[in-house]
């Protein structure tokens, strides 16, 4: 089987209400996503998506994906998409680094490989595990009452696991964390995500004032070095998200015992091929994972749910569906909130989801063999 075409669409995804993180430093009103379609000489079609949650969240941006695919397309045309490692190495030769650019092509290859095997993608990523995948809400930063209002909306959708954004003024953050903790009901869980906002001294102050809450605190500082400084001086469980970008980062996280939880976002680490390797390494090291992506439609989320579905509990912690924040979702099928804050990987071969092709219009770029 050979890849015979690479088609690219840009997708404007308005948020249903503005979303702030990092104490309001970063504010988003819409996302810019990229859909990629791979066609093959045997008629199978694969879909992938890349959406880096704006340009300010990570060293990644939507137009970078589209420009990068222009570089990658000639390198993958003619390759067998079922040979996911071979395709990945070809992409790494054609464009070193830029992991998020590779993710949508890699995702589409996995979609085709699973269709060709006649299996849902989760079965190619290790095998479907028991039970459904727990979802977590994503609660934008705000006053304690604003945070609670968002949590109540998430509860109405069935969510029992919340990721609440903190990371502003330290005293206000201490108040926010204590307030939210006191409002959690039996069986509910909350993680406090600072999205790199605190300096190490601020993180130490905020965490040591809330030790007794024993909640996971995510990405307190900008860098892994700063995180390790904080780690030595606090006692609660920690999570690393934005500072995990490469396999080298994960090896250092394991070597230093930096955290109990990682946020494994498919696009940020460079696609399912790399995320699967990281998943396996985290399991060996006893690290729990939030397996998800950085944004996008149900297509991107469904790929994450497949990887989560193939990861046993308790390593699989929770997964986020960005689509809950969007006003549009031009995707058919796929993994959805079942109403109880959980989702299942689709049973049909491949990703089990695809865009409504009529609604997409003409692709903005199409690459074919020269
Ligand atoms: Mg996070």
Helix (H) or strand (E) holding 139: strand 137-139
Residue located via tokens 């809950």: 324
- What pLDDT score does 129 carry? 97
Structure tokens at 209: 């004032």
Contact 12, 30 (CB under 8 A): yes
- The conformation of residue 132, written as its DSSP 8-state character, comes to P
Query: Phi and psi of 33, rounded to 5°?
Result: -115, 160
Give mean pLDDT, residues 278-287: 98
Q: Which tens digit of pLDDT belongs to each residue from 67-84?
A: 999 999 999 999 999 999
Q: What is the 90 CA–ligand 1 centroid distance (Å)?
A: 30
Query: Which of 21-30, 75-84, 124-133, 297-306 has the lowest average pLDDT?
Result: 21-30
List residues with catalytic annotation. Answer: 165, 265
Structure tokens at 34: 């990229």
Give the residue among 124, 39, 30, 12 at the shortest CA–CA distance from 354. 39
Give mean pLDDT, residues 317-323: 96
- What pLDDT score does 330 carry? 92
Q: What is the 242 CA–ligand 1 centroid distance (Å)?
A: 7
Give mean pLDDT, residues 18-39: 89
Q: What is the 35 CA–ligand 1 centroid distance (Å)?
A: 23
Q: Which tens digit of pLDDT belongs to each residue from 225-254?
A: 999 999 999 999 999 999 999 999 999 999
- What pLDDT score does 183 carry? 98
Give the residue among 163, 104, 123 at the shortest CA–CA distance from 347. 123
Would you place residue 101 in the very low, low, confident or very high pLDDT band (cuts 50, 70, 90)?
A: very high
In the predicted structure, residue 22 carries a pLDDT above the cut 90 = no
Q: What is the 80 CA–ligand 1 centroid distance (Å)?
A: 35
Q: Average pLDDT of the chain?
A: 96
Q: Which residues pair with 138 in a beta bridge?
A: 163
For a pLDDT cut of 90, what percent of the chain falls above it?
Answer: 93
Q: CA 99, CA 267: separation in Å to the nearest integer?
A: 7
- What pLDDT score does 3 carry? 98
Q: What is the 104 CA–ligand 1 centroid distance (Å)?
A: 21
Give the residue among 166, 134, 140 at the shortest CA–CA distance from 153. 140
- What pLDDT score does 153 carry? 97
Q: Which residues pair with 6 in a beta bridge?
A: 38, 367
Would you place residue 36 in the very low, low, confident or very high pLDDT band (cuts 50, 70, 90)?
A: very high
In the predicted structure, residue 214 carries a pLDDT above the cut 90 = yes
Give mean pLDDT, residues 299-305: 98
Question: In a 3-state reduction of DSSP, which class is residue 66?
Answer: helix
Contact 266, 278 (CB under 8 A): no
Would you place residue 26 in the very low, low, confident or very high pLDDT band (cuts 50, 70, 90)?
A: confident
Question: 218 in the Ramachandran plot: left (φ > 0), alpha (ψ -120 to 50) or beta?
Answer: beta
Q: What is the 198 CA–ligand 1 centroid distance (Å)?
A: 14
Contact 119, 349 (CB under 8 A): yes
Would you place residue 21 in the very low, low, confident or very high pLDDT band (cuts 50, 70, 90)?
A: confident
- What pLDDT score does 339 carry? 97
Contact 225, 251 (CB under 8 A): no
Would you place residue 208 in the very low, low, confident or very high pLDDT band (cuts 50, 70, 90)?
A: very high
Q: What is the 294 CA–ligand 1 centroid distance (Å)?
A: 9
Q: What is the 224 CA–ligand 1 centroid distance (Å)?
A: 14
Q: CA 106, CA 156: separation in Å to the nearest integer?
A: 35
């Amino acid at each position: 089987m050979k890849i015979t075409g690479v088609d690219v669409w840009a997708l404007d995804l308005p948020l249903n209400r503005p979303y702030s993180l990092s104490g309001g430093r970063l504010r988003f009103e819409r996302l810019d996503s990229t859909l990629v379609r791979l066609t093959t000489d045997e008629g199978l079609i694969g879909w992938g998506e890349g959406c880096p949650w704006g340009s300010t969240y990570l060293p990644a941006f939507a137009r970078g994906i589209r420009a990068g695919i222009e570089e990658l397309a000639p390198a993958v045309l003619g390759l067998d998409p079922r040979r996911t490692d071979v395709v990945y190495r070809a992409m790494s030769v054609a464009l070193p680094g830029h992991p998020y650019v590779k993710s949508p092509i890699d995702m589409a290859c996995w979609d085709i490989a699973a269709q060709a095997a006649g299996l849902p993608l989760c079965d190619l990523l290790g095998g479907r595990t028991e039970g459904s995948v727990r979802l977590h809400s994503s609660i934008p930063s705000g006053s304690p009452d604003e945070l609670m209002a968002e949590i109540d909306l998430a509860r109405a959708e069935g969510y029992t696991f919340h990721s609440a954004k903190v990371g502003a003024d330290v005293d206000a953050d201490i108040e926010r964390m204590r307030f939210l903790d006191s409002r959690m009901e039996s069986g509910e869980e909350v993680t406090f995500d600072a999205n790199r906002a605190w300096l190490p001294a601020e993180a130490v102050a905020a965490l040591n004032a809330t030790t007794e809450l024993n909640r996971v605190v995510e990405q307190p500082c900008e860098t892994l070095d700063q995180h390790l400084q904080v780690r030595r001086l606090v006692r609660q469980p920690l999570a690393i998200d934005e500072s995990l970008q490469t396999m080298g980062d994960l090896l250092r996280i394991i070597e230093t015992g930096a955290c109990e939880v990682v946020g494994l976002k498919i696009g940020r680490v460079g696609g399912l091929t790399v995320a699967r390797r990281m998943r396996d390494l985290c399991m060996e090291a006893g690290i729990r994972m939030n397996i998800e992506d950085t944004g996008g439609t149900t297509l991107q989320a469904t790929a994450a749910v497949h990887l989560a579905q193939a990861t046993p509990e308790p390593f699989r912690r929770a997964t986020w569906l960005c689509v809950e924040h969007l006003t549009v979702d031009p995707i058919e099928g796929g993994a959805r909130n079942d109403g109880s804050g959980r989702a299942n990987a689709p049973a049909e071969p491949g990703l089990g989801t695809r865009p409504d092709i009529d609604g997409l219009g003409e692709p903005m770029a199409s690459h074919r063999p020269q």
